[in-house]
């Protein structure tokens, strides 16, 4: 099962180089990720994939913890919770390890992160930079959206092919950016993200550790 997932990830990485898998250029960044190299560049930052600029939303991120849910969406690995979520918006991919958040080794828990955009937007894409070097990776990545923070509907599930790669910073043997996208933008203020080293469909562990470098949301302002 692990070899199969690695093959899927390798195919995704190859697709990324052509930049054909997902087009984020027409979308605007909604999560105020820090730019380390100016507004037009994207070395190591999930924040600067978009050439359409960004909307300063004041977005915040928080880990959700509900121990009764175990390894399901809604709970987070206790090791991940020890890290400040500002590391997920600091403008660096996982390539710079000191800016990432680390889950426990062989943990049965994933990461559930709630993003509050502070207002309603048309949400189109959710991207995440993760370490992917054989032992570390993500087998599950999905996103849900909500207008009120209570009632969530699916935005999408990563299928191993919808990905974005920064060739200048990313090393396919070390880290990769993965993206969940929707053909139909969803009106939402809240975005709930779930990543796990476990394959939900088979209940098998695929990787030994989850390491997240950056998390970002793209979309558009709603018509007034």
Look at residue 209 in the predicted model and tell me its pLDDT: 96
Asked if residues 98 and 211 have their Cβ atoms less than 8 Å apart, the reply is: no
Look at residue 43 in the predicted model and tell me its pLDDT: 38
Look at residue 2 in the predicted model and tell me its pLDDT: 45
Per-residue HEC secondary structure of the chain comes to CHHHHHHHHHHHHHHHHCCCCCCCCCCEECCCCCCCCCCCCCCCCHHHCCCCCECCCCCEEEECCCHHHCCCCCCCCHHHHCCCHHHHHCCCCCCCHHHCEECCCCCCCCEEEEEEEEEEEEEEEEEEEEECCCCECCCEEEEEEECCCCCCEEEEECCCCCEECCCCCCCCCCEEEEEEEEEEEEEEEEEEEEEECEECCCCEECCCECEEEEEEEEEEECCC
- pLDDT tens, position by position, for the chain (224 residues)? 444 444 343 333 333 333 334 566 678 889 988 765 543 333 344 555 555 678 889 999 999 999 999 999 999 999 999 999 998 988 776 665 577 899 999 999 999 999 999 999 999 999 888 888 888 989 999 999 999 999 999 999 987 755 555 544 455 566 777 889 888 899 999 999 999 999 888 889 999 999 998 899 999 999 87
Instruction: Report how far residue 23's alpha carbon sits from residue 6's, in angstroms, rounded to the nearest whole number.
Output: 24
Asked if residues 23 and 52 have their Cβ atoms less than 8 Å apart, the reply is: no
CATH classification of the domain holding 17: 2.60.120.260
Question: Per the structure, how many domains does the chain have?
Answer: 1
Look at residue 152 in the predicted model and tell me its pLDDT: 97
Asked if residues 186 and 122 have their Cβ atoms less than 8 Å apart, the reply is: yes
Range of the domain at 34: 2-221
Instruction: Report how far residue 157's alpha carbon sits from residue 219's, in angstroms, rounded to the nearest whole number.
Output: 17
CB atoms within 10 A of CB 56: 10
Instruction: Enter the pTM of the model.
Output: 0.83
Write down how long the chain is: 224
């Amino acid at each position: 099962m692990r070899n199969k997932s690695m093959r899927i990830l390798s195919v995704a990485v190859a697709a990324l180089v052509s930049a054909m898998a997902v087009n984020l250029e027409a979308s605007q960044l909604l999560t105020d990720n820090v730019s380390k190299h100016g507004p037009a560049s994207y070395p190591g930052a999930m924040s600067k994939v978009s050439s359409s600029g960004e909307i300063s939303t004041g977005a915040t991120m928080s880990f959700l913890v509900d121990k009764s849910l175990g390894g399901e969406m809604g709970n987070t690995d206790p090791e991940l919770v020890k890290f400040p979520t500002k590391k997920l918006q600091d403008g660096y991919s996982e390539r710079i390890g000191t800016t990432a958040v680390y889950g426990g080794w062989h943990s049965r828990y994933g990461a559930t992160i709630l993003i509050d955009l502070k207002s309603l937007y048309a949400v189109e894409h959710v991207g995440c930079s993760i370490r992917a070097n054989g032992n570390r990776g993500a087998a599950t990545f999905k996103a849900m959206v909500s207008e009120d923070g209570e009632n969530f509907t699916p935005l999408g599930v990563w299928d191993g092919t919808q990905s974005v790669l920064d060739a200048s910073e990313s090393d396919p043997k070390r880290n990769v950016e993965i993206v969940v996208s929707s053909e139909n933008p969803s009106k939402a203020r809240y975005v709930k993200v779930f990543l796990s080293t476990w394959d939900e469909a088979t209940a098998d562990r695929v990787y030994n550790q989850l390491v997240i470098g950056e998390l970002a949301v793209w979309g558009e302002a709603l018509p007034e």
